Amino acid sequence: MYKELNPSVCTLMTPGPVEVEPRVLRAMCSSILGQFDPEFTQIMNETMEMLRTVFQTKNKWTFPIDGTSRAGIEAVLCSIIESGDTVFVPIYGRFGHLLTEIAERYGANVVNIETDWGQVFDPQVVIAEIQRVKPKIVAMVHGETSTGCMQPLQEIGEACRALDILFVVDAVATLGGTAVKVDEWKIDAAIGGTQKCLSVPAGMAPITFNERVEAVLLERKKIERGLVDPSELQSGQARLIRSNYFDLSQLMDYWSPVRLNHHTEATSMIYALREGLRIVVEEGLEARFARHKFHEKALVQGIQAMGLKIYGDPDCKLPVVTSIMIPDGVDGESVRRMLLQDFQIEIASSFGSLKGKIWRIGSMGYSCRKKNVLSVLGALEAVLIRHKAKVVAGQALQAALDVYQNEG
Protein backbone atom coordinates (compact mmCIF):
# COMPACT_ATOMS: atom_id res chain seq x y z
CA MET A 1 0.00 0.00 0.00
CA TYR A 2 1.15 3.48 -0.78
CA LYS A 3 1.18 5.90 2.13
CA GLU A 4 -0.73 9.16 2.13
CA LEU A 5 1.34 11.88 0.48
CA ASN A 6 3.05 14.00 3.13
CA PRO A 7 6.02 15.94 1.67
CA SER A 8 8.59 17.49 4.00
CA VAL A 9 8.34 21.19 4.81
CA CYS A 10 11.51 22.79 3.45
CA THR A 11 12.91 26.30 3.20
CA LEU A 12 13.33 26.78 -0.54
CA MET A 13 16.08 29.28 -1.33
CA THR A 14 16.74 28.27 -4.92
CA PRO A 15 16.21 30.43 -8.03
CA GLY A 16 13.02 28.43 -8.57
CA PRO A 17 10.90 26.81 -7.50
CA VAL A 18 10.37 28.92 -4.40
CA GLU A 19 7.99 28.62 -1.48
CA VAL A 20 4.37 29.09 -2.53
CA GLU A 21 2.38 31.80 -0.81
CA PRO A 22 -0.05 30.10 1.67
CA ARG A 23 -2.95 32.11 0.26
CA VAL A 24 -2.16 30.71 -3.17
CA LEU A 25 -2.24 27.14 -1.83
CA ARG A 26 -5.64 27.83 -0.27
CA ALA A 27 -6.95 29.24 -3.55
CA MET A 28 -5.92 26.04 -5.34
CA CYS A 29 -8.27 24.06 -3.10
CA SER A 30 -11.31 25.94 -4.45
CA SER A 31 -14.08 24.09 -6.25
CA ILE A 32 -13.58 23.40 -9.94
CA LEU A 33 -15.68 25.48 -12.33
CA GLY A 34 -16.37 24.73 -15.98
CA GLN A 35 -13.99 26.52 -18.31
CA PHE A 36 -16.79 28.49 -20.00
CA ASP A 37 -18.80 29.16 -16.85
CA PRO A 38 -19.21 32.97 -16.71
CA GLU A 39 -17.82 32.92 -13.18
CA PHE A 40 -14.64 31.26 -14.45
CA THR A 41 -14.27 33.45 -17.54
CA GLN A 42 -14.47 36.45 -15.21
CA ILE A 43 -11.57 34.95 -13.25
CA MET A 44 -9.69 34.62 -16.55
CA ASN A 45 -10.37 38.27 -17.38
CA GLU A 46 -9.19 39.42 -13.95
CA THR A 47 -6.01 37.38 -14.37
CA MET A 48 -5.32 39.15 -17.67
CA GLU A 49 -5.94 42.57 -16.08
CA MET A 50 -3.51 41.92 -13.22
CA LEU A 51 -0.89 40.49 -15.56
CA ARG A 52 -0.96 43.76 -17.50
CA THR A 53 -0.19 45.58 -14.25
CA VAL A 54 2.73 43.29 -13.40
CA PHE A 55 4.17 43.39 -16.93
CA GLN A 56 3.63 47.18 -16.92
CA THR A 57 1.87 47.08 -20.26
CA LYS A 58 -1.38 48.02 -21.94
CA ASN A 59 -1.16 45.05 -24.32
CA LYS A 60 -4.55 43.47 -25.00
CA TRP A 61 -2.92 40.08 -25.42
CA THR A 62 -1.64 39.26 -21.95
CA PHE A 63 -2.47 35.79 -20.63
CA PRO A 64 -0.84 32.59 -19.34
CA ILE A 65 0.23 29.56 -21.33
CA ASP A 66 -0.55 26.22 -19.68
CA GLY A 67 2.87 24.71 -19.00
CA THR A 68 6.08 25.73 -17.28
CA SER A 69 8.05 28.82 -18.25
CA ARG A 70 9.67 27.04 -21.16
CA ALA A 71 6.19 26.48 -22.62
CA GLY A 72 5.69 30.25 -22.74
CA ILE A 73 9.03 30.79 -24.44
CA GLU A 74 8.31 28.09 -27.00
CA ALA A 75 4.77 29.38 -27.63
CA VAL A 76 6.05 32.86 -28.48
CA LEU A 77 8.98 31.74 -30.60
CA CYS A 78 7.20 28.99 -32.53
CA SER A 79 4.32 31.33 -33.33
CA ILE A 80 6.47 34.07 -34.88
CA ILE A 81 9.44 32.15 -36.35
CA GLU A 82 9.18 30.80 -39.86
CA SER A 83 11.76 28.59 -41.53
CA GLY A 84 14.71 30.65 -42.70
CA ASP A 85 14.03 33.65 -40.43
CA THR A 86 17.12 35.23 -38.92
CA VAL A 87 17.00 35.37 -35.12
CA PHE A 88 19.69 37.12 -33.09
CA VAL A 89 20.34 35.81 -29.57
CA PRO A 90 23.06 37.36 -27.37
CA ILE A 91 24.20 34.74 -24.83
CA TYR A 92 25.50 35.46 -21.33
CA GLY A 93 24.40 32.26 -19.58
CA ARG A 94 22.53 28.99 -19.92
CA PHE A 95 19.17 30.40 -20.98
CA GLY A 96 20.47 32.29 -24.00
CA HIS A 97 21.47 28.84 -25.24
CA LEU A 98 17.89 27.68 -24.60
CA LEU A 99 16.46 30.52 -26.72
CA THR A 100 18.90 29.52 -29.45
CA GLU A 101 17.93 25.85 -29.31
CA ILE A 102 14.18 26.53 -29.48
CA ALA A 103 14.60 28.97 -32.38
CA GLU A 104 16.77 26.47 -34.30
CA ARG A 105 14.18 23.71 -33.85
CA TYR A 106 11.63 25.91 -35.65
CA GLY A 107 13.93 26.47 -38.61
CA ALA A 108 15.49 29.80 -37.72
CA ASN A 109 18.91 30.89 -38.84
CA VAL A 110 20.27 31.86 -35.41
CA VAL A 111 23.12 34.32 -34.98
CA ASN A 112 24.81 34.56 -31.57
CA ILE A 113 27.29 36.69 -29.76
CA GLU A 114 28.59 35.57 -26.38
CA THR A 115 30.20 37.19 -23.38
CA ASP A 116 31.80 35.64 -20.32
CA TRP A 117 29.37 34.20 -17.81
CA GLY A 118 29.13 36.55 -14.84
CA GLN A 119 28.97 39.56 -17.17
CA VAL A 120 26.28 41.13 -19.34
CA PHE A 121 26.49 43.02 -22.62
CA ASP A 122 27.08 46.70 -23.15
CA PRO A 123 23.83 47.55 -24.96
CA GLN A 124 25.79 49.37 -27.67
CA VAL A 125 27.63 46.13 -28.52
CA VAL A 126 24.29 44.37 -28.99
CA ILE A 127 22.87 47.24 -31.02
CA ALA A 128 25.89 47.31 -33.33
CA GLU A 129 25.44 43.59 -34.01
CA ILE A 130 21.70 44.04 -34.61
CA GLN A 131 22.48 46.70 -37.20
CA ARG A 132 24.95 44.34 -38.88
CA VAL A 133 22.81 41.17 -38.81
CA LYS A 134 19.41 42.80 -39.53
CA PRO A 135 17.39 39.94 -37.98
CA LYS A 136 13.63 39.52 -37.95
CA ILE A 137 13.73 38.83 -34.21
CA VAL A 138 16.04 39.66 -31.30
CA ALA A 139 15.56 37.35 -28.31
CA MET A 140 17.26 38.06 -24.97
CA VAL A 141 17.19 36.92 -21.37
CA HIS A 142 16.47 39.67 -18.83
CA GLY A 143 17.55 37.88 -15.65
CA GLU A 144 20.00 35.01 -16.14
CA THR A 145 19.55 32.73 -13.13
CA SER A 146 22.47 30.49 -14.12
CA THR A 147 24.89 33.32 -13.31
CA GLY A 148 22.88 35.76 -11.20
CA CYS A 149 23.18 38.64 -13.71
CA MET A 150 20.62 41.02 -15.24
CA GLN A 151 20.85 42.60 -18.69
CA PRO A 152 19.80 46.25 -19.28
CA LEU A 153 17.18 46.21 -22.04
CA GLN A 154 15.79 49.68 -22.72
CA GLU A 155 18.35 50.87 -25.28
CA ILE A 156 18.15 47.52 -27.10
CA GLY A 157 14.35 47.71 -27.24
CA GLU A 158 14.45 51.22 -28.62
CA ALA A 159 16.94 50.18 -31.30
CA CYS A 160 14.82 47.20 -32.31
CA ARG A 161 11.72 49.35 -32.63
CA ALA A 162 13.55 51.92 -34.75
CA LEU A 163 14.70 49.14 -37.08
CA ASP A 164 11.28 47.38 -37.15
CA ILE A 165 12.72 44.25 -35.51
CA LEU A 166 10.68 42.17 -33.06
CA PHE A 167 12.15 42.18 -29.52
CA VAL A 168 11.35 39.08 -27.42
CA VAL A 169 12.40 38.95 -23.76
CA ASP A 170 12.65 36.03 -21.34
CA ALA A 171 11.56 37.68 -18.07
CA VAL A 172 10.95 34.38 -16.28
CA ALA A 173 13.26 35.17 -13.36
CA THR A 174 12.45 38.84 -12.99
CA LEU A 175 8.66 39.20 -13.34
CA GLY A 176 7.27 40.19 -9.96
CA GLY A 177 10.66 40.68 -8.31
CA THR A 178 12.17 43.59 -10.19
CA ALA A 179 10.90 45.97 -12.85
CA VAL A 180 9.88 44.53 -16.22
CA LYS A 181 8.67 47.58 -18.18
CA VAL A 182 7.29 46.04 -21.33
CA ASP A 183 5.86 49.20 -22.91
CA GLU A 184 8.55 51.65 -21.79
CA TRP A 185 11.37 49.34 -22.93
CA LYS A 186 9.60 48.68 -26.25
CA ILE A 187 9.46 44.93 -25.75
CA ASP A 188 7.23 43.26 -28.34
CA ALA A 189 6.73 40.00 -26.45
CA ALA A 190 7.74 38.97 -22.92
CA ILE A 191 7.50 35.69 -21.04
CA GLY A 192 7.31 35.28 -17.26
CA GLY A 193 7.26 32.37 -14.86
CA THR A 194 5.00 31.47 -11.96
CA GLN A 195 7.46 29.44 -9.86
CA LYS A 196 9.86 32.28 -9.16
CA CYS A 197 9.01 35.80 -7.97
CA LEU A 198 5.24 35.29 -8.25
CA SER A 199 5.39 32.45 -5.65
CA VAL A 200 2.92 30.27 -7.51
CA PRO A 201 3.63 26.60 -8.34
CA ALA A 202 5.30 25.82 -11.65
CA GLY A 203 2.79 25.08 -14.37
CA MET A 204 1.90 28.37 -16.06
CA ALA A 205 3.84 30.84 -18.15
CA PRO A 206 2.43 34.38 -18.29
CA ILE A 207 3.07 36.07 -21.63
CA THR A 208 2.29 39.43 -23.19
CA PHE A 209 2.63 40.64 -26.76
CA ASN A 210 1.67 43.73 -28.71
CA GLU A 211 -0.02 44.50 -32.00
CA ARG A 212 3.24 44.08 -33.94
CA VAL A 213 3.37 40.43 -32.90
CA GLU A 214 -0.39 40.08 -33.36
CA ALA A 215 -0.02 41.11 -37.01
CA VAL A 216 2.42 38.23 -37.60
CA LEU A 217 0.11 35.76 -35.86
CA LEU A 218 -2.95 36.78 -37.86
CA GLU A 219 -1.04 36.25 -41.11
CA ARG A 220 -0.32 32.66 -40.01
CA LYS A 221 -3.66 31.87 -38.37
CA LYS A 222 -5.44 28.59 -39.02
CA ILE A 223 -8.25 27.25 -36.84
CA GLU A 224 -8.18 23.48 -36.45
CA ARG A 225 -10.66 21.58 -38.60
CA GLY A 226 -12.83 20.16 -35.84
CA LEU A 227 -13.77 23.63 -34.60
CA VAL A 228 -15.17 25.15 -37.79
CA ASP A 229 -18.18 24.43 -40.00
CA PRO A 230 -17.06 22.22 -42.94
CA SER A 231 -18.43 24.82 -45.36
CA GLU A 232 -16.07 27.40 -43.86
CA LEU A 233 -12.89 25.35 -43.96
CA GLN A 234 -9.82 27.39 -44.86
CA SER A 235 -7.67 26.57 -47.84
CA GLY A 236 -4.11 25.47 -47.08
CA GLN A 237 -2.18 27.88 -44.87
CA ALA A 238 1.31 28.06 -46.34
CA ARG A 239 2.70 29.80 -43.24
CA LEU A 240 1.18 27.44 -40.70
CA ILE A 241 2.33 27.70 -37.08
CA ARG A 242 3.97 24.33 -36.53
CA SER A 243 2.62 23.66 -33.04
CA ASN A 244 -1.08 23.25 -32.36
CA TYR A 245 -0.82 23.45 -28.56
CA PHE A 246 1.43 26.54 -28.61
CA ASP A 247 -0.39 28.28 -31.49
CA LEU A 248 -0.87 31.81 -30.14
CA SER A 249 -3.26 32.72 -32.95
CA GLN A 250 -5.75 30.15 -31.62
CA LEU A 251 -5.00 30.93 -27.99
CA MET A 252 -5.93 34.56 -28.68
CA ASP A 253 -9.45 33.34 -29.45
CA TYR A 254 -9.48 31.16 -26.33
CA TRP A 255 -8.61 34.15 -24.13
CA SER A 256 -10.96 36.57 -25.93
CA PRO A 257 -14.78 36.79 -25.87
CA VAL A 258 -14.76 34.29 -28.77
CA ARG A 259 -13.76 31.55 -26.25
CA LEU A 260 -12.54 29.14 -28.91
CA ASN A 261 -12.37 25.67 -27.34
CA HIS A 262 -8.64 25.18 -27.81
CA HIS A 263 -7.87 23.10 -24.70
CA THR A 264 -9.28 22.41 -21.24
CA GLU A 265 -7.99 25.14 -18.95
CA ALA A 266 -5.91 24.20 -15.90
CA THR A 267 -8.54 25.54 -13.52
CA SER A 268 -6.68 25.22 -10.22
CA MET A 269 -3.57 26.81 -11.70
CA ILE A 270 -5.63 29.78 -12.90
CA TYR A 271 -6.93 30.13 -9.34
CA ALA A 272 -3.32 30.02 -8.12
CA LEU A 273 -2.07 32.56 -10.63
CA ARG A 274 -4.96 34.94 -9.99
CA GLU A 275 -4.34 34.86 -6.24
CA GLY A 276 -0.59 35.21 -6.69
CA LEU A 277 -1.11 38.25 -8.89
CA ARG A 278 -3.64 39.71 -6.49
CA ILE A 279 -1.03 39.51 -3.73
CA VAL A 280 1.55 41.25 -5.95
CA VAL A 281 -0.88 44.04 -6.83
CA GLU A 282 -1.95 44.37 -3.19
CA GLU A 283 1.67 44.80 -2.08
CA GLY A 284 2.36 47.27 -4.91
CA LEU A 285 5.08 46.86 -7.52
CA GLU A 286 7.52 49.42 -6.15
CA ALA A 287 7.11 48.18 -2.57
CA ARG A 288 7.64 44.62 -3.76
CA PHE A 289 10.77 45.49 -5.72
CA ALA A 290 12.13 47.40 -2.70
CA ARG A 291 11.46 44.38 -0.46
CA HIS A 292 13.49 42.16 -2.76
CA LYS A 293 16.38 44.64 -2.78
CA PHE A 294 16.28 44.98 1.02
CA HIS A 295 16.50 41.25 1.72
CA GLU A 296 19.12 40.88 -1.02
CA LYS A 297 21.26 43.44 0.81
CA ALA A 298 20.98 41.57 4.11
CA LEU A 299 21.87 38.30 2.39
CA VAL A 300 24.86 39.72 0.54
CA GLN A 301 26.18 41.49 3.63
CA GLY A 302 25.94 38.23 5.55
CA ILE A 303 27.67 36.19 2.84
CA GLN A 304 30.53 38.67 2.60
CA ALA A 305 30.90 38.96 6.38
CA MET A 306 31.35 35.18 6.44
CA GLY A 307 34.35 35.62 4.15
CA LEU A 308 32.72 34.23 1.01
CA LYS A 309 32.90 35.90 -2.40
CA ILE A 310 29.96 36.92 -4.57
CA TYR A 311 30.28 35.67 -8.15
CA GLY A 312 29.85 37.99 -11.11
CA ASP A 313 29.99 41.68 -11.87
CA PRO A 314 28.23 43.53 -9.02
CA ASP A 315 27.12 46.27 -11.43
CA CYS A 316 24.80 43.83 -13.20
CA LYS A 317 23.74 41.64 -10.28
CA LEU A 318 20.28 40.12 -10.51
CA PRO A 319 18.56 41.32 -7.30
CA VAL A 320 16.64 38.08 -6.74
CA VAL A 321 19.55 35.63 -7.16
CA THR A 322 22.86 35.72 -5.30
CA SER A 323 25.68 33.58 -6.72
CA ILE A 324 28.46 32.56 -4.32
CA MET A 325 31.86 31.19 -5.23
CA ILE A 326 32.44 27.79 -3.61
CA PRO A 327 35.59 27.99 -1.45
CA ASP A 328 38.63 26.04 -2.63
CA GLY A 329 38.70 22.50 -1.34
CA VAL A 330 35.00 22.42 -0.44
CA ASP A 331 32.66 19.87 -2.01
CA GLY A 332 29.74 22.05 -3.06
CA GLU A 333 27.30 19.16 -3.44
CA SER A 334 28.19 17.81 0.00
CA VAL A 335 27.36 21.23 1.47
CA ARG A 336 24.02 21.31 -0.34
CA ARG A 337 23.16 17.78 0.85
CA MET A 338 23.91 18.65 4.47
CA LEU A 339 21.87 21.84 4.27
CA LEU A 340 18.90 19.84 3.02
CA GLN A 341 19.27 16.82 5.29
CA ASP A 342 20.10 18.61 8.55
CA PHE A 343 18.42 22.01 8.13
CA GLN A 344 15.71 21.35 5.50
CA ILE A 345 17.10 24.26 3.48
CA GLU A 346 17.68 23.97 -0.25
CA ILE A 347 20.01 26.14 -2.31
CA ALA A 348 21.10 25.50 -5.90
CA SER A 349 24.25 24.68 -7.80
CA SER A 350 24.69 25.88 -11.39
CA PHE A 351 25.15 24.57 -14.92
CA GLY A 352 27.74 24.04 -17.61
CA SER A 353 31.08 25.72 -16.97
CA LEU A 354 29.88 26.91 -13.54
CA LYS A 355 28.78 23.52 -12.25
CA GLY A 356 30.64 22.84 -8.99
CA LYS A 357 32.03 26.38 -8.92
CA ILE A 358 29.16 28.44 -7.51
CA TRP A 359 26.07 28.12 -5.33
CA ARG A 360 22.98 30.13 -6.16
CA ILE A 361 20.61 31.43 -3.50
CA GLY A 362 17.23 32.70 -4.62
CA SER A 363 15.45 35.38 -2.64
CA MET A 364 12.22 35.42 -4.59
CA GLY A 365 8.60 36.14 -3.77
CA TYR A 366 7.38 34.51 -0.55
CA SER A 367 10.84 32.99 0.04
CA CYS A 368 12.24 36.53 0.18
CA ARG A 369 11.76 37.27 3.88
CA LYS A 370 13.82 37.85 7.00
CA LYS A 371 13.31 34.40 8.53
CA ASN A 372 14.60 32.67 5.41
CA VAL A 373 17.60 34.94 4.95
CA LEU A 374 18.72 34.50 8.55
CA SER A 375 18.08 30.74 8.43
CA VAL A 376 20.14 30.18 5.29
CA LEU A 377 23.03 32.31 6.57
CA GLY A 378 23.20 30.52 9.93
CA ALA A 379 22.87 27.07 8.38
CA LEU A 380 25.41 27.73 5.63
CA GLU A 381 27.98 28.95 8.14
CA ALA A 382 27.46 25.88 10.35
CA VAL A 383 27.73 23.47 7.42
CA LEU A 384 30.88 25.16 6.08
CA ILE A 385 32.51 24.91 9.51
CA ARG A 386 31.68 21.19 9.53
CA HIS A 387 33.38 20.98 6.12
CA LYS A 388 36.47 22.69 7.58
CA ALA A 389 36.12 25.69 5.26
CA LYS A 390 37.84 28.92 6.19
CA VAL A 391 34.99 31.21 7.22
CA VAL A 392 34.71 34.11 9.63
CA ALA A 393 32.52 32.49 12.27
CA GLY A 394 29.78 34.44 14.01
CA GLN A 395 29.69 37.42 11.65
CA ALA A 396 27.18 36.49 8.93
CA LEU A 397 24.06 36.74 11.05
CA GLN A 398 25.33 39.87 12.78
CA ALA A 399 25.91 41.60 9.44
CA ALA A 400 22.44 40.68 8.21
CA LEU A 401 20.88 41.77 11.50
CA ASP A 402 22.66 45.13 11.16
CA VAL A 403 20.84 45.65 7.88
CA TYR A 404 17.50 44.65 9.35
CA GLN A 405 17.87 46.76 12.50
CA ASN A 406 19.45 49.83 10.92
CA GLU A 407 17.58 50.00 7.63
CA GLY A 408 14.34 48.11 8.24
Q: Which residues of 8-19 are buried (b: 16+ CB within 10 A; e: fewer)?
A: eeebbbbbbbbb
Write down all domains in the chain, each with its CATH number in brackets.
22-280 (3.40.640.10), 284-407 (3.90.1150.10)
Instruction: Give the pLDDT confidence score for residue 408 in this predicted structure.
Output: 75
Mean pLDDT, residues 299-309: 98
Instruction: Give the pLDDT confidence score for residue 226 in this predicted structure.
Output: 83
Residue pair 92/112 in contact by the 8 Å Cβ criterion: no
Cα dihedral sign for 75, 203, 256, 226?
Answer: positive
Instruction: Give the pLDDT confidence score for residue 234 in this predicted structure.
Output: 63
**What are the pLDDT digits (tens) for 185-211?**
999 999 999 999 999 999 999 999 999
Instruction: Give the pLDDT confidence score for residue 389 in this predicted structure.
Output: 97
Q: Which of 21-25, 231-235, 321-325 comes out lowest in average pLDDT?
A: 231-235
Backbone angles phi, psi at 167, to 5 degrees: -115, 115
How many Å apart are CA 193 and CA 175, to the nearest integer? 7
How many Å apart are CA 327 and CA 391, to the nearest integer? 9
Residue pair 325/357 in contact by the 8 Å Cβ criterion: yes
How many Å apart are CA 149 and CA 152, to the nearest integer? 10
Mean pLDDT, residues 274-278: 98
Q: Count CB-CB contacts under 10 A for residue 29.
A: 8
**What are the pLDDT digits (tens) for 355-400?**
999 999 999 999 999 999 999 999 999 999 999 999 999 999 999 9
Q: Could you tell me the pLDDT band of residue 235, with boundaries at 50, 70 and 90?
A: low
Contacts of 394 (CB under 8 A, 6+ apart): none
Q: Which of 56-65, 131-140, 252-261 comes out lowest in average pLDDT?
A: 252-261
Q: Which of 48-52, 126-130, 224-228, 394-398 comes out lowest in average pLDDT?
A: 224-228
Residue 29 has pLDDT above 80, yes or no: yes
Q: Which residues of 296-328 are buried (b: 16+ CB within 10 A; e: fewer)?
A: bbbbbbbbbbbbbebbbeeebbbbbbbbbbbbe
Q: Bigger pLDDT: 233 or 49?
A: 49
Instruction: Give the pLDDT confidence score for residue 360 in this predicted structure.
Output: 98
Q: Count CB-CB contacts under 10 A for residue 259.
A: 13
Residue pair 395/304 in contact by the 8 Å Cβ criterion: no
Instruction: Give the pLDDT confidence score for residue 77 in this predicted structure.
Output: 98
Residue 102 has pLDDT above 80, yes or no: yes
Mean of the per-residue pLDDT values for the chain? 96
Give me the DSSP letters along 213-280. HHHHHHHH----GGGS-GGGPPPP-TT--S-STT-HHHHHHHTSTT----S---HHHHHHHHHHHHHH
Residue 225 has pLDDT above 90, yes or no: no
Instruction: Give the pLDDT confidence score for residue 189 in this predicted structure.
Output: 99
Instruction: Give the pLDDT confidence score for residue 227 in this predicted structure.
Output: 80
